[in-house]
């Protein structure tokens, strides 16, 4: 094996081209992998893989068909056992090449930022979002610092994490790849010592070999609980600490434009929601029991994260000076604990001149009980911990922390208050007791089946056969009444029981565990009213907001009229209190009409929905169901947000972060930071400097192009008899 010094050349920024840097990263990883391959499978296999690599590289550089034929002959000459090893070797080599490129991109971004203070990708602010550059750009557009600060602290970006089967790389491998990136980055640091280099080289070899020895494919499909745990791991590893770190950067950016005030800890700048365990549209494995489990699991994880952090905070809060309000509270709590049977050694060890620790000690006890109660409910369905011993609302949790913050500020210790305590307050405000709010998604036809069973059981006909007007009339009559609609004698199929049991789970769990109830394939006001009625009938005292999802081309075209009819209903206007959320789907619309036509219709639909909402005095929040690939609505986040129609965001944005791109968005600390920055900066810029509407002649041209594009797309996808066979061949 070549020595690490022979492989590494310490590079001073600016003295070696970026392409040379990439070659060096790539060469080191390739050399280490081939050494490992030789140790595991012998020199002959190493030489064969290396020869294949060189032939493939020669073909790639010259497009020499003779080289391609030579490579084919080499591979077909292998016996089955060796072919598996060679195939897996090339798969790992490609992954390592991607890692080298990622590290090189990160290096390039750092160097360009240091040299120019500029954006790294395409050297253009149109493809990236730096929060400080965005603030400065808004000032150049004649916005005052106070206007920018006011808009920023009142905006909300809700990132909705979804589980998705197209994330094919196992979490175990993703973590190993992350450690390889870290090793490679540290190896090329300017101030690294020879001993450090040797140790990092050994760690690099270890991680490369561990990745090679790890099965790339899941042999069993993950359960919804598995998907939830995988999604929650991102909170534990990057998001939990990433949010306060990002908000501190926002504070710094504000200070640099003349605002000496921090973003309030309870400003809803970033929120998180999830579909993992709540998205039952077409997924029979997402049962009511699964929904219950993932909610309790998330609450247990949240309490555990807080609990592990509160002790560090207590260690820091050793100050004795406090205001009278906190001193009285601390003494009262100390006396109560002393008189209690469970007065423990922990409380005896807190001196009377450490009032902050006394207050936080009580928070610590309640967090422990909150975690244990969720754990017991998750494992057995019952808990012996009473509710008065746990936190049941985020306001309960925030109150003692706010008291500590006020006291520190009152005593001249504002810099201390704005340290770890402020970070903790921001985490509590962002994640609450539930960690993430779970959205429930169900297809509209499933609700129709339930109501049809009810109306037939009541002997008043078939709900399915009724006109839309009759459905609305009956639904509103029941919503305005007080008598129960059905009892335990209602005949239930398995599907009907599943829908009703889901509503029952929602009624039993804490309200803050849930976000929205999303109806896919919504086409009419009755779809929304049906969910409102079922929520009431199943005992949900604080109903979830109901969100219609419009996906296919025809549904998008009809969405404005459908929403207008919904807003025309007085009962519903009173119910929503001037706020409505509407979800638009990118994936199904693209599959239905083609990418161009779908994108244009999504644009027009949003414009019309905003007009309808303004007519009825309703504030509309658009929920964008974007995927990772371009065909599913993916693309550069900054451009995607800035390209939305004027008046459609206004500081309120919900957007899915699909399972296949969660790793790219939150897999590492710097990725988490950039993701939060992109969404926050672009949402602010869109709200304060909205894009210009298309000219009338552009609209006419786009309408004509969309008609032609849809016809051409459907002629291939839906009418070409060989398309399915072709698609299976190229995608298998």
Residue pair 685/137 in contact (Cβ under 8 Å)? The answer is yes
Cα 25 to Cα 491: distance, rounded to the nearest angstrom: 66
Residue pair 126/639 in contact (Cβ under 8 Å)? The answer is yes
To the nearest 10°, report the CA torsion of 494, 495, 498, 502.
Answer: -170
Cα 6 to Cα 46: distance, rounded to the nearest angstrom: 20
Per the annotation, the verdict on 447 as an active-site residue is no
> Which among 471, 477, 533, 547 has a CA at the least distance from the CA of 503?
533
Residue pair 127/119 in contact (Cβ under 8 Å)? The answer is yes
How far, rounded to the nearest angstrom, does the alpha carbon of residue 537 sit from its chain's CA centroid?
32
Q: Please identify which of the residues 164, 366, 552, 604 carries the catalytic annotation.
A: 164
Q: Indicate if the alpha-carbon torsion angle 82, 83, 88, 91 is positive or negative.
A: positive
- CB contact set of 107 (below 8 Å; sequence gap of 6+): 18, 21, 185, 188
Tokens, residue 337: 């604990």
- Listed in order, strand segments (DSSP E) in 78-193 are 156-161
Cα 216 to Cα 172: distance, rounded to the nearest angstrom: 9
Task: Tell me the three-class secondary structure of 237-256, residue by residue.
Answer: HHHHHHHHHHHHHHHHHHHC
Q: What number of H helices and E strands is found in the chain?
A: 31, 8
Burial profile 517-536: b = 16 or more Cβ within 10 angstroms, e = fewer = bbbbbbbbbbbbbbbbbbbb
Cα 656 to Cα 587: distance, rounded to the nearest angstrom: 12
441 sits in which H/E element: strand 437-443
Residue pair 131/244 in contact (Cβ under 8 Å)? The answer is no
Cα 525 to Cα 112: distance, rounded to the nearest angstrom: 53
Burial profile 57-77: b = 16 or more Cβ within 10 angstroms, e = fewer = ebbeeeeeeebeebbeeebee
Assign 492 to helix, strand or coil: coil
Please classify residue 85 by burial: count the beta carbons closer than 10 Å to its beta carbon, then call 0-12 exposed, 13-18 middle and 19+ buried. middle
Please classify residue 174 by burial: count the beta carbons closer than 10 Å to its beta carbon, then call 0-12 exposed, 13-18 middle and 19+ buried. middle
Per the annotation, the verdict on 164 as an active-site residue is yes
Q: What is the DSSP letter of 661?
A: G
Residue pair 157/270 in contact (Cβ under 8 Å)? The answer is yes
Q: Please identify which of the residues 143, 245, 504, 591 carries the catalytic annotation.
A: 591
Tokens, residue 68: 């391609």
List phi, psi (to 5°) of 576: -85, -10
Pairing relationship of beta strands 156-161 and 619-625 according to DSSP bridges: unpaired
Q: How far is CA 197 from CA 3, 9, 99, 193, 368, in A?
A: 10, 11, 19, 6, 43
Please classify residue 445 by burial: count the beta carbons closer than 10 Å to its beta carbon, then call 0-12 exposed, 13-18 middle and 19+ buried. middle
What are the residues facing 156 on neighbouring strands?
652
List phi, psi (to 5°) of 548: -75, 140
How far, rounded to the nearest angstrom, does the alpha carbon of residue 703 sit from its chain's CA centroid?
34
Residue pair 277/294 in contact (Cβ under 8 Å)? The answer is yes
State the number of CA atoms in the 13 A half-sphere of 117 facing the CB: 5
Q: Indicate if the alpha-carbon torsion angle 507, 512, 517, 518 is positive or negative.
A: negative
Annotated active-site positions, please? Answer: 164, 591
């Amino acid at each position: 094996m070549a020595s690490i010094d022979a492989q590494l050349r310490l590079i001073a920024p600016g003295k070696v081209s970026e392409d040379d840097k990439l070659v060096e990263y790539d060469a080191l990883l390739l050399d280490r992998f081939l050494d490992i391959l030789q140790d595991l499978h012998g020199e002959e296999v190493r030489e064969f893989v290396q020869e294949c690599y060189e032939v493939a590289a020669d073909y790639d550089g010259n497009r020499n068909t003779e080289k391609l034929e030579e490579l084919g002959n080499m591979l077909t000459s292998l016996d089955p056992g060796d072919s598996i090893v060679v195939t897996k070797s090339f798969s790992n080599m490609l992954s390592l090449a991607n890692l080298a490129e990622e590290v090189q991109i990160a290096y390039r971004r750092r160097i360009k930022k240091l040299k120019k203070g500029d954006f790294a990708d395409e050297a253009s602010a149109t493809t990236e979002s730096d929060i400080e550059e965005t603030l400065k750009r808004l000032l150049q557009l004649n916005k005052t610092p106070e206007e920018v600060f006011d808009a920023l602290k009142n905006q909300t970006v809700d990132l909705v994490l979804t589980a998705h089967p197209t994330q094919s790389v196992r979490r175990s491998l993703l973590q190993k790849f992350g450690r390889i990136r870290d090793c490679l980055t540290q190896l090329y640091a300017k101030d690294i010592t020879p001993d450090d280099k040797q140790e990092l080289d050994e760690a690099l070899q270890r991680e490369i070999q561990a990745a090679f020895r790890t099965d790339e494919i899941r042999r069993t499909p993950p359960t919804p609980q598995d998907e939830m745990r995988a999604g929650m791991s991102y909170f534990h590893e990057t998001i939990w600490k990433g949010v306060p770190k990002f908000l501190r950067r926002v504070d710094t950016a504000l200070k640099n434009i003349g605002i000496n005030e921090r973003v309030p800890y309870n400003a809803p700048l970033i929120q998180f929601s999830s579909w993992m365990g709540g998205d039952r549209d077409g997924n029979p494995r997402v049962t009511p029991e699964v929904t219950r489990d993932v909610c309790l699991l998330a609450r247990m994880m949240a309490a555990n994260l807080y609990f592990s952090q509160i002790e560090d905070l207590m260690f820091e809060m050793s100050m004795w000076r406090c205001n009278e309000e906190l001193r009285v509270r601390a003494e009262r709590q100390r006396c109560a604990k002393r008189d209690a049977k469970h007065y423990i050694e922990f409380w005896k060890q807190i001196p009377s001149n450490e009032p902050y620790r006394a207050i936080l000690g009580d928070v610590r006890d309640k967090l422990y009980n909150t975690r244990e109660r969720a754990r017991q409910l998750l494992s057995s369905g019952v808990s012996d911990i009473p509710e008065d011993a746990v936190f049941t609302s985020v306001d309960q949790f925030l109150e003692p922390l706010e008291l500590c913050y006020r006291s520190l500020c009152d005593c001249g210790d504002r810099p201390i208050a704005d340290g770890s305590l402020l970070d903790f307050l921001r985490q509590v405000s962002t994640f609450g007791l539930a960690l993430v709010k779970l959205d429930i998604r169900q297809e509209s036809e499933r609700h129709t089946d339930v109501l049809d069973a009810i109306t037939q059981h009541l002997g008043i006909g078939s709900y399915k056969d009724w006109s839309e007007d009759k459905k609305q009339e009956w639904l509103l009559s029941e919503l305005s009444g007080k008598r129960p609609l059905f009892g335990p004698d209602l005949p239930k199929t398995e599907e009907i029981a599943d829908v009703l049991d889901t509503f029952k789970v929602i009624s039993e769990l804490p309200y803050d565990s849930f976000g929205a109830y999303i109806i896919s394939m919504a086409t009419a006001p009755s779809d929304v009213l049906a969910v409102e009625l079922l929520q009431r009938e199943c005992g949900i005292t604080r109903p979830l907001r109901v969100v219609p999802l419009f996906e296919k081309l025809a549904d998008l075209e009809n969405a404005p009229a459908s929403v207008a009819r919904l807003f025309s209903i007085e009962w519903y206007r009173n119910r929503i209190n001037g706020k409505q959320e509407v979800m638009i789907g990118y994936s199904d619309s693209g599959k239905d009409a083609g990418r161009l036509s779908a994108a244009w219709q999504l644009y027009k639909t949003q414009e019309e929905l905003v007009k309808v909402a303004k007519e009825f005095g309703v504030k509309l929040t658009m929920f964008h169901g974007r995927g990772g690939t371009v065909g599913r609505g993916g693309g550069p986040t900054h451009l995607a947000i800035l390209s939305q129609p004027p008046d459609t965001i206004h500081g309120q944005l919900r957007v899915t972060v699909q399972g296949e791109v969660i790793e790219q968005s939150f897999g590492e600390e710097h990725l988490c930071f950039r993701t939060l920055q992109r969404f926050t900066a672009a949402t602010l810029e869109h709200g304060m400097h909205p894009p210009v509407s298309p000219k009338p002649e552009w609209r006419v041209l786009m309408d004509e192009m969309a008609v032609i594009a849809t016809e051409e797309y459907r002629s291939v996808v839906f009418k070409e008899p060989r398309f399915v066979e072709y698609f299976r061949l190229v995608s298998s």
